Amino acid sequence: MSSCLALVGDDIIADRLLEIKTNILLAVFIAALILANVIGSKVTTIFGVVTSVGIFAYPLTFLITDAVEEVRGKRVTAVFIYAGFVALIVSIVLVWIGIKMPPASFYTNNEAYTTVFGNSIRIIIASLTAFLISQTHDIWAFNFWKKKTHGRFLWLRNNLSTIASQFIDTALFTFIAFYHMTPAFTVARVFQMIIPYWLLKVGFALLDTPFVYILVKWLKPESGKRIPHSEYRASQHY
């Protein structure tokens, strides 16, 4: 009897700890997602490729969702995507209100404020569309490769799903945001923008592989603890 109670107690502790860790990752996920859009208006050059500085924040979202899906399953991971999408919409609305509000008479930085935060509607639509579709694909692809590899080769699943999803994200965003913005932005020109940027993202994806293992190890219940069976089953259905 006492051993059964101890086992139940261990399950409760492991469950609560797992929820806390998952919520921490959700907070980092949303922060990285919003910051990628907020700081993304600045461009830099990395290895000769002109890119947004948001590239330092956005790959974190794929890193986190892969780790969460490995441990919690695609249902929990889908919550991250929906929460991120809602957070993006809320942040966009609040930024729009901030831009439209008249500045105080002594505030002299309104033009700079508007320049930094005033993304066009087309850019916003491109960002939201690319995020939702690419992240949804990432969940599906990671789960697909997990089944194909019978739960082995985490590094392979992580990279195959992320590399494909990053291409979808880059292609969708670039086409929606820039195609025919001017006559110079032809299909060929847009692909000239997509390929180098995507290859740079591939490099980041390969570099984050060790961190996926670290996150998975941190997120998993301690040795001897287990995820309750009901939660495990719920996490596997979508």
Domains and CATH numbers, the chain: 2-231 (1.10.1760)
Neighbours of 104 (CB within 10 A): 8
Helices (H), 39-179: 59-72, 74-100, 110-117, 121-148, 154-178
Length of the chain: 238
- What does DSSP assign to residue 149? T
Closest among 133, 142, 187 to 160, alpha carbons compared: 142
Angle, nearest 10°, between helix axes 74-100 and 2-38? Answer: 40
Q: What is the C-alpha separation between 190 and 169, in angstroms, rounded?
A: 14
Q: What is the C-alpha separation between 221 and 183, in angstroms, rounded?
A: 55
Structure tokens at 56: 């330092």
- Look at 24-28, 218-222, 229-233 and tell me which has the smallest mean pLDDT: 229-233
Q: In the beta sheet, which residues pair with residue 52?
A: 43
119: left (phi over 0), alpha (psi -120 to 50) or beta: beta
Say yes or no to pLDDT of 163 above 90. Answer: yes
What pLDDT digit, counting tens, does each position of 190-220 carry? 888 889 989 998 998 899 899 999 999 999 8
What is the torsion angle, in degrees rounded to the nearest 10, for the CA atoms of residue 212, residue 215, residue 221 and residue 223? 80
> What backbone phi and psi angles, to 5 degrees, belong to 52?
-75, 145
pTM greater than the 0.75 cutoff: yes
Say yes or no to pLDDT of 99 above 60. Answer: yes
Contacts of 39 (CB under 8 A, 6+ apart): 52, 53, 54, 57
Question: To the nearest whole percent, how much of the chain has pLDDT over 90?
Answer: 47
Q: What is the C-alpha separation between 67 and 85, in angstroms, rounded?
A: 19
